Structures are given as structure tokens and as C-alpha cells.
């Protein structure tokens, strides 16, 4: 048998003309192609999310969900592109804790040019496994008052509470910088002195790790970097966006000064409109919903309490002027109070929290017109005498069809017969004055002629 095999193979080669060297090369080529396809199929994947605007509860939930998705898909890392003026302290804590617990390296990238990582954004940037910024961006001003809260301005904060907030923020940012091996002294100065620096200065002071103008360049710079014992392979990685869900996007858009201002106006118009026109219901419901949302947002946005008091005073002046014969003096005062209150509402020393005049001026004019015409007409209508119903009979005169006494009687009025009674007897044909009614019986008294 052993002697027959070579003989058979040789005969097969000669008869079929099969080239085993060719087959071998073909098999190697197919194997290499399969390995290439497999390597491409298993190419590195990088997750990416974008955060702009105020940091709030929705932001923290979104970041936690993105980290979970990145870990589930075994992504190389998660890139958080950041541009924020600040936000809520509690939400910032939750985000930092999520970074610490993340099984996937988190890269915080302050971009594009002109973006800021102010206040809460400074904490978040320092907490990233890798901190990067684009040229023309800035970071800092991490004073706890600017991180949000209903106090609105530093002057409205109790000195003891202010000191506690500063101490907490200092310890918090110090622990973050120390854990990530970044400049601890500068981190503390960003709280105590509200220090803010450019991207170039941040790199020089070792506040951040990288400066990159674009995302592709950032991926190249991250290639081969060791993060928590894992080597990043990002140069040729596929970037996969992890977008916000519809409800996350909706609630995230609410955390804006303009949105809160509009909600306050809706609350004022709705509630006052319902009070001036009872029974309409819809304005009152919309006003109540808007008021609750505005109060909820005031826990995040830095609302100035003095400004809110001015706006409330303006509403009171508008309403009082409808009743008081001041010939518009109170309305003028209300317009001034509303304008100043709106101008100061988010004026807390942070330029990123303010309302522009393009919102304030139209809102002031519309509010003044609303109270002058809509609310004024409704309140004046409530003071007008009743024009329909039984109430219109009171004070009118009628003739007794039959004698009227305390037990019975009858009059004819407006084409209808009415039962009538009177404490003083009235003869048939006598005149009576209607003083009221009890059920369907008119209360009358004899008409006296002067």
C-alpha cells in the first residue's frame, strides 16, 4: 500500500494535471484573506457622546447610560466632547463617580474651538481618564456658587454655608486631581480664586494631557496610550455615536435660561388669566405645569432671588393698577420692575448664564399688554352688573295680578307669570318692587312713590 500511494499520486498528477504547489499558495492566500477580514471585523470601536449646555440630572443619566453601552459593546474607550458653563453639584458628583466606576476608559475632550469647561465642567474634565482640549478653549472658574443652586448669587448665600460649599468643592476637586495625577494646586485655585486658563496653559501646567484640534487627530494621539493597564488602539478605530434618547434630549433642552424664562411667563399668564376669567380651566392648568417646571429648573440654574422678587412685584403692580385710578403710574412701575428683574434674573457673575435683550424687551412689552388688555378686560367684566338670569329682576317694578300677602300672590313680568309674596299686603293692581327671590317665588315690597 505504501508503494502504491506515490504511484497513484504521480499518476493522478500526470492524468489530471493538478499542481499541488498552486493549491498550497491558494490555500495560504485564502487563509490570509480570512484573517484580514476577521481583523477588520474585530477592529477597535470608540464611543462618542456630546454634551453642551447646563449639567443636570438628565446629563448624569445620559453619561451613565453611555458608559454602560460602551462597556457592553467592549469599546476601546468613550470620548465625551464637552462644552458647558456649569450645572448642578449633585449631578457633577454622580458623573465623577460614574467615571471612577467605568470599566471603559473615559476621554473628556473640551471642543470645538470656543468651547468652555467652566464650573462643573472643570470637575468633569479633570475626572476623565484622559483630559484633552481643542485650541481656543478654556477651563476653570470652579467656584461652588457658579455650579448652580437656587441661591443665585454669592451675596444671597449665608456666609457659613458659603464657606462649607467652598471647603467641599476644594476637597472634591483636590481628590479628583490627585487621583488623576493632575495639577492639584491649580485645581484648588480654580475653586478659591475662580481661576480660568486656556488650553495651551492647561497643558503647560499639567491640568490636561493633550491638545488636539480635531477628533481624528485626538484618536491618533491616543493610540498606544496606557490607561488603567489597558493599551488604547484608536488610530484606525471606528467612531460610534451614542445619541441621547428622545426623552433625554427633551429634558436636557429644558436646562436653559431662555426656557426657564418662557416657563415663568407662561406660569404668570396662565394663573393670572385663570383668576381673571374663572372657569376657563386650560390657562390655569398650563400655568400650574409651567410653574412647577420653572421651580424645578431653579434648583439648577443660578436664579437671583432679588430679580425674582422684582418680577413678582411687577405682576402685583399690573393687577393693582387695573383697580386703582392711578392713570397708568403703577403699570409704568410694573414695566420698569419687570425689565430690571428679567435683566438681573441670571446675572450672577457668570457670563454664560444671562438673558439677552432680544428676549427681555419683547417679553416686557407682551407682559404689559397682557395685563393692560387681557387681564384688565377680564377683571372689569367681573365687576359689571349681571345682565341675564333671575338676578336681573331685583330692583324692578311689577303690578300685582292678585292681592299679595305673606302667603301668596302673583305678578306678571317680562311676559311670564311669577308667584310673589310680601310682608306688607299689596292690593290687586298695586305696584311692587322685587327685592329678591326664594326658589321660583319673588320677594316683593309695596312700591312707594316720592
Kindly indicate the confidence band of residue 296, based on its pLDDT and cuts at 50, 70 and 90.
Answer: confident
In CATH, the number for domain 41-250 is 3.90.226.10
Long-range own/partner contacts, residues 332-335 (CB < 8 A, 24 or more apart): 334/368, 334/371, 335/364, 335/368
Compute the distance between CA of residue 367 and CA of residue 441 in angstroms, rounded to an integer: 48
Would you mind telling me the total number of residues written for the chain in this entry? 450
SS3 287: helix
Compute the distance between CA of residue 63 and CA of residue 94 in angstroms, rounded to an integer: 9
Q: What does DSSP assign to residue 353?
A: S
Taking CA 97 as the corner, what is the angle to CA 92 and CA 98, rounded to the nearest 5 degrees?
A: 95
Compute the distance between CA of residue 327 and CA of residue 331 in angstroms, rounded to an integer: 9
Mean pLDDT of the chain: 81
Cα dihedral across residues 139, 143, 144, 147: positive or negative: negative
Query: Considering only CA atoms, which of 133, 106, 318, 96 is closest in space to residue 227?
Result: 106
323-338 pLDDT, tens per residue? 666 656 787 888 888 8
Compute the distance between CA of residue 367 and CA of residue 334 in angstroms, rounded to an integer: 10
For helices 329-344 and 357-369, what crossing angle results, to 10°?
150
Residue-range domain boundaries for the chain: 41-250, 256-383, 390-446
CATH superfamily of 390-446: Nucleic acid-binding proteins (2.40.50.140)
Assess whether pLDDT exceeds 60 at residue 1. Answer: no
Kindly indicate the confidence band of residue 33, based on its pLDDT and cuts at 50, 70 and 90.
Answer: low
Kindly indicate the confidence band of residue 40, based on its pLDDT and cuts at 50, 70 and 90.
Answer: very low
- Which residues neighbour 239 within 8 Å (Cβ) at sequence distance 6 or greater? 45, 46, 47, 48, 79, 215, 219
**Mean pLDDT for the stretch of residues 42-60:** 86
Task: Confirm whether pTM is higher than 0.85.
Answer: no
Say what percent of the chain tops pLDDT 90.
33
pLDDT of residue 31: 66
Q: Which residue has the cell 324692578?
A: 396
Compute the distance between CA of residue 332 and CA of residue 320 in angstroms, rounded to an integer: 12
Compute the distance between CA of residue 374 and CA of residue 382 in angstroms, rounded to an integer: 13
Longest dimension (CA), the chain: 153
Lowest mean pLDDT among 89-103, 170-184, 302-316: 302-316
- CA 73 from centroid of its chain's CA atoms: 30
Classify strands 397-402 and 410-413 as parallel, antiparallel or unpaired.
antiparallel
Classify strands 416-422 and 441-446 as parallel, antiparallel or unpaired.
parallel
Q: Are 403 and 426 in contact (CB under 8 A)?
A: yes
pLDDT of residue 146: 42
Amino acid at each position: 500500500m505504501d508503494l502504491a500511494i506515490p504511484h497513484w499520486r504521480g499518476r493522478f498528477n500526470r492524468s489530471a494535471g493538478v499542481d499541488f504547489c498552486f493549491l498550497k499558495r491558494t490555500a495560504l492566500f485564502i487563509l490570509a484573506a480570512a484573517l484580514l477580514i476577521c481583523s477588520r471585523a474585530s477592529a477597535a470601536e470608540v464611543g462618542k457622546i456630546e454634551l453642551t449646555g447646563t449639567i443636570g440630572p438628565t446629563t448624569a443619566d445620559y453619561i451613565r447610560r453611555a458608559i454602560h453601552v460602551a462597556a457592553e459593546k467592549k469599546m476601546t474607550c468613550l470620548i465625551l466632547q464637552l462644552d458647558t458653563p456649569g450645572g448642578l453639584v449633585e449631578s457633577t458628583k454622580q458623573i465623577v463617580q460614574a467615571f471612577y466606576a467605568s470599566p471603559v476608559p473615559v476621554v473628556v475632550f473640551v471642543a470645538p474651538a470656543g468651547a468652555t469647561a467652566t464650573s462643573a465642567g472643570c470637575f468633569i474634565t479633570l475626572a476623565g481618564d484622559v483630559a484633552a482640549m481643542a485650541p481656543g478653549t478654556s477651563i476653570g472658574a470652579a467656584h461652588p456658587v457658579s455650579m448652580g443652586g437656587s441661591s443665585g448669587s454669592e451675596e444671597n448665600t449665608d456666609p457659613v454655608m458659603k464657606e462649607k460649599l467652598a471647603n467641599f468643592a476644594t476637597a472634591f476637586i483636590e481628590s479628583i486631581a490627585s487621583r488623576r495625577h493632575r495639577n492639584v494646586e491649580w485645581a484648588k485655585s480654580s475653586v478659591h480664586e475662580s481661576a480660568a486658563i486656556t488650553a495651551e496653559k492647561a497643558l503647560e501646567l499639567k491640568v490636561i494631557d493633550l491638545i488636539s484640534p480635531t477628533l481624528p487627530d485626538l484618536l491618533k494621539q491616543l493610540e498606544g496610550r496606557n490607561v488603567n493597564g489597558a493599551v488604547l488602539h484608536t488610530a484606525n478605530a471606528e467612531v460610534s455615536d451614542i445619541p441621547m434618547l428622545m426623552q433625554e434630549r427633551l429634558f436636557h433642552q429644558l436646562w436653559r435660561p431662555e426656557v426657564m424664562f418662557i416657563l415663568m411667563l407662561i406660569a404668570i399668564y396662565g394663573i393670572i388669566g385663570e383668576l381673571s376669567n374663572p372657569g376657563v380651566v386650560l390657562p390655569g392648568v398650563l400655568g400650574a405645569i409651567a410653574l412647577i417646571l420653572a421651580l424645578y429648573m431653579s434648583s439648577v440654574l443660578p436664579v437671583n432671588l432679588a430679580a425674582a422678587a422684582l418680577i413678582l412685584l411687577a405682576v402685583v403692580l399690573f393687577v393693582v393698577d387695573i383697580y386703582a385710578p392711578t392713570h397708568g403710574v403703577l403699570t409704568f412701575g410694573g414695566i420698569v420692575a419687570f425689565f430690571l428683574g428679567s435683566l438681573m434674573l441670571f446675572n450672577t457673575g457668570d457670563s454664560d448664564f444671562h438673558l439677552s435683550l432680544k428676549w427681555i424687551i419683547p417679553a416686557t412689552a407682551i407682559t404689559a399688554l397682557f395685563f393692560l388688555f387681557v387681564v384688565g378686560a377680564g377683571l372689569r367684566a367681573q365687576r359689571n352688573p349681571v345682565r341675564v338670569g333671575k338676578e336681573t329682576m331685583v330692583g324692578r317694578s311689577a303690578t300685582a295680578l292678585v292681592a299679595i300677602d305673606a302667603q301668596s300672590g302673583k305678578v306678571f313680568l317680562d311676559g311670564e307669570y311669577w308667584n310673589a309674596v310680601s310682608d306688607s299686603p299689596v292690593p290687586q293692581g298695586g305696584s311692587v318692587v322685587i327685592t329678591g327671590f326664594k326658589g321660583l317665588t319673588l320677594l316683593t315690597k309695596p312700591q312707594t312713590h316720592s
